[in-house]
Structure 1
Amino acid sequence: MIFIDNIEAQEVLDSRGNPTIKASVTLSDGSIGSAIVPSGASTGKREALELRDNDSRFLGKGVLKACENIHTEIYETLVGLSPFDQNKIDSLMIELDGSDNFSRLGANATLGVSMATARAAANSLRIPLYRYLGGASALTLPTPMLNIINGGSHADNTVDFQEYMIMPVGFECFSEAMRASAEIYQHLKKILKDSKHITSIGDEGGFAPNLKTNEEPIQIILEAVKKAGYKEGEQIAIALDVASSEFVNDKGIYSLKGEGRELSSQELVEYYEKLINKYPIVSIEDGLSEDDWEGWKLLTEKLGDKIQLVGDDLFVTNSKILQEGIDKKIANAILIKPNQIGTVSQTIQAIQLAQRNNYKCIMSHRSGESEDSFIADFAVALNTGEIKTGSTARSERMAKYNRLLSIEKELHNPIYLGSSLFKR
């Protein structure tokens, strides 16, 4: 029987230069799997805990305590077990931690080991990670959501909304969708440069210009779409990550500082309604605060049959919270971030719950990323149909897209859903 022979952890750096964990699992047959854990900037209050050292190193952001937890308790619990029972491996770490959010061991520790174990098992069987996690049904290349203009907590500019994304929906395959996206990105850069805007980029590779309103980025993106020779609404759609929890106050008022306006939940919903009537917007993420469930109910009633309404901070990849949203008919899609919940198995459970209830799933990176392309395989394995992993810039973002290009080449008859994602 093949078993887990060794587990190691190393403190490495993410795309923002902050420490994170690289976990490695070695099996008795010599197979090795490694994984690097990402980290978010805009985080939901109910996410699993990312354990930091809070000492003098790295401004308190070191992860040596989490690494030590891997080298001691997690090692002692998992060494000698089969790597092929992912549910058992993950359940044992959940039980070992004893909290409901990995506040003792750290979700960065458990997720690193969980992902590395899956990789080691796939390597032992000599099959791709997407095939190991998804079996024969892993056939769908996800439609990318490319964050090409950054605002909010992802950039130091005057734009309130966090991400303005393009979705290449009107194409036959993933590789053509990526080509169009890369061309639009380059045209966008030229438009911004010609207009004397700065063309520095944010954490996820999008540009971060100072613009007068939250509507102006949409207008500039559509100009780039046109100059690149593509059709808005038919080939290229717009998606927004508003990240409204970042600009709501204690009284539930949303402050659009870039526009000098304060809006109630109802007024913000009305604002979105105007935007989707004016522009080819097919998806809005975190349109209201994670605590504003009444506002979310109104948003879903008004727009849920028109566009994709994605819960990120709202659901934090947590099946229990997602089930509450399903029961209350709130949102119609969930963003999937493995480090919000802490293990591969729990992430799969959230995806399967969403899919059983006709909620769309978007596999997602974090703003603090690495060269690890685990989520690319994960998206194909679970047929999420969509992936959000930055613009066509920065190598830690391109690692995911390039992995998907490789997977597309490996699959005999890959599926690319594109515009069919949004047919109702």
Structure 2
Amino acid sequence: SELVMPVPAFNIINGGNHAGNGLAMQEFMIMPVGAKTFREAMQMGSEIYQHLKKVIKQAYGQDATNVGDEGGFAPNISSSEEGLELVKKAIANAGYVDQIKIAMDVAASEFFTKDKQYDLNFKVQPNNGDGKVDANGLLDVYKAFIQNYPMTSIEDPFDQDDWKAWSKMTSEVGVSTQIVGDDLLVTNPIRIRKAIKEKSCNALLLKVNQIGTITESIEAVSLAKKAGWGVMTSHRSGETEDTFIADLAVGLSTGQIKTGAPCRSERLAKYNQLLR
């Protein structure tokens, strides 16, 4: 079959447990869907990343451009809308408004509370609980994101065992938006089969060292593709300079890869392998 180079999802703002700021949601990414080649996608991503650095410096000062675990900037903001506005401005300043889509990894399991609410202020101290919303309230937040920004993909929008909320979101916005299962699926064929049956999401996040073997990873991709899902190959927050996942993304024609910002050698190693 024909070789498919993946569209990269560059993580350019870090939040959640991957950054020391007030942002509840973990990853704000850009996807250069309008790029004709992987090389062009890299150029677009790198330019927007540098424009974002300038935008953050202008808004929050010189010391606001520290980076999080995956190399994305971690300005001390607490609102996801504020983060999305920064990304939107950087895309416009770089001149790529029509070629770039925004993606997110919410990692909602990290702020799912014992009373089955989602605490969008879980990193704010003291926390009076006024940031808590239920699954329906959080779905409304995502619908606003989709309406107000060029949002193409949302990963882990709910807790890994909140199956009902996942299915509701996929049925309501899944036609226009990719709903990616990471914590929900953990690259496990058993959970993937359940998600297919319950129509819980429409894309798989492929993490080889999460399931543990290449054989099971291939099975997971095969199941996802047969269900008509998208597949996004992924790094981990703690990474090495090993480039195998870049080769795997091409070999399995996953079509998408996320491996951090265009920054830090353990992230760039994968992008450089794809450029070769």
| TM-score, structure 2 normalization | 0.95
Are 1:368 and 2:207 matched, yes or no?
Answer: no
| Cα deviation 1:4-58 (Å, max 9, x = unaligned) | xxxxxxxxxxxxxxxxxxxxxxxxxxxxxxxxxxxxxxxxxxxxxxxxxxxxxxx
Alignment correspondent of 2:59: 195
Divergent runs of 4+, >4 A = none
| Alpha-carbon distance in 1 for matches of 2:65, 2:209 | 30
Are 1:207 and 2:73 matched, yes or no?
Answer: yes
Are 1:296 and 2:162 matched, yes or no?
Answer: no
Which among 90, 106, 109 is matched to residue 245 of structure 1?
109
- Farther off after superposition, 355-364 or 260-269: 260-269
Per-residue deviation at 1:244?
0.1
Contact 2:60 2:75 in 1 (8 A): no
| Cα deviation 1:347-381 (Å, max 9, x = unaligned) | 01100110111111000000110110000000000
Contact 1:266 1:298 in 2 (8 A): no
| Alpha-carbon distance in 1 for matches of 2:194, 2:263 | 37
SS of the residue aligned with 1:207? Answer: coil
Residues 316-327 of structure 1 aligned to structure 2 (within 5 Å): 316-327=186-197
Residues 276-287 of structure 1 aligned to structure 2 (within 5 Å): 276-287=146-157
Alignment correspondent of 2:20: 156
| Cα deviation 1:363-410 (Å, max 9, x = unaligned) | 00001101100000000000000000000000000000000000xxxx
| Alpha-carbon distance in 2 for matches of 1:374, 1:352 | 19
Unaligned runs of 5+ in 2: 125-129
Residues 20-31 of structure 1 aligned to structure 2 (within 5 Å): none
Residues 97-246 of structure 1 aligned to structure 2 (within 5 Å): 137=1, 139-197=3-61, 198-231=64-97, 234-246=98-110
Per-residue deviation at 1:228?
1.0
Contact 2:12 2:71 in 1 (8 A): yes
Per-residue deviation at 1:138?
5.9
Per-residue deviation at 1:268?
0.5
| Alpha-carbon distance in 2 for matches of 1:314, 1:188 | 31
Greater CA radius of gyration, 1 or 2? Answer: 1
Alignment correspondent of 1:346: 216
Which amino acid is the alignment partner of residue 281 of structure 1? Answer: M
| Alpha-carbon distance in 2 for matches of 1:170, 1:245 | 32
**Number of equivalent positions:** 268
Alignment correspondent of 1:119: none
Per-residue deviation at 1:195?
1.9
| Cα deviation 1:130-174 (Å, max 9, x = unaligned) | xxxxxxx36111000000000001101100100000000011111
Are 1:309 and 2:179 matched, yes or no?
Answer: yes
Alignment correspondent of 1:130: none
SS of the residue aligned with 2:80? Answer: coil
| Alpha-carbon distance in 2 for matches of 1:195, 1:250 | 36
Contact 2:55 2:90 in 1 (8 A): yes
| Alpha-carbon distance in 2 for matches of 1:229, 1:301 | 34
Per-residue deviation at 1:298?
1.1
Alignment correspondent of 2:252: 382
| Alpha-carbon distance in 2 for matches of 1:395, 1:226 | 27
| Alpha-carbon distance in 1 for matches of 2:259, 2:225 | 21
Contact 2:65 2:73 in 1 (8 A): yes
Contact 2:204 2:229 in 1 (8 A): yes
Q: Percent identity?
A: 49
| Alpha-carbon distance in 2 for matches of 1:196, 1:341 | 40
| Alpha-carbon distance in 1 for matches of 2:252, 2:2 | 6
SS of the residue aligned with 2:35? Answer: coil
| Cα deviation 1:53-111 (Å, max 9, x = unaligned) | xxxxxxxxxxxxxxxxxxxxxxxxxxxxxxxxxxxxxxxxxxxxxxxxxxxxxxxxxxx
Contact 1:269 1:299 in 2 (8 A): yes
Contact 1:317 1:341 in 2 (8 A): yes
RMSD of the TM alignment (CA)? 1.1
Per-residue deviation at 1:306?
1.6
Contact 2:21 2:78 in 1 (8 A): no
SS of the residue aligned with 1:215? Answer: helix
Alignment correspondent of 1:355: 225
| Alpha-carbon distance in 1 for matches of 2:78, 2:22 | 7
| Alpha-carbon distance in 1 for matches of 2:177, 2:119 | 24
Which amino acid is the alignment partner of residue 156 of structure 2? Answer: D
Per-residue deviation at 1:251?
2.0
Which amino acid is the alignment partner of residue 321 of structure 1? Answer: R
Contact 1:317 1:335 in 2 (8 A): yes
SS of the residue aligned with 2:48? Answer: helix
SS of the residue aligned with 1:295? Answer: helix
Contact 1:138 1:382 in 2 (8 A): no
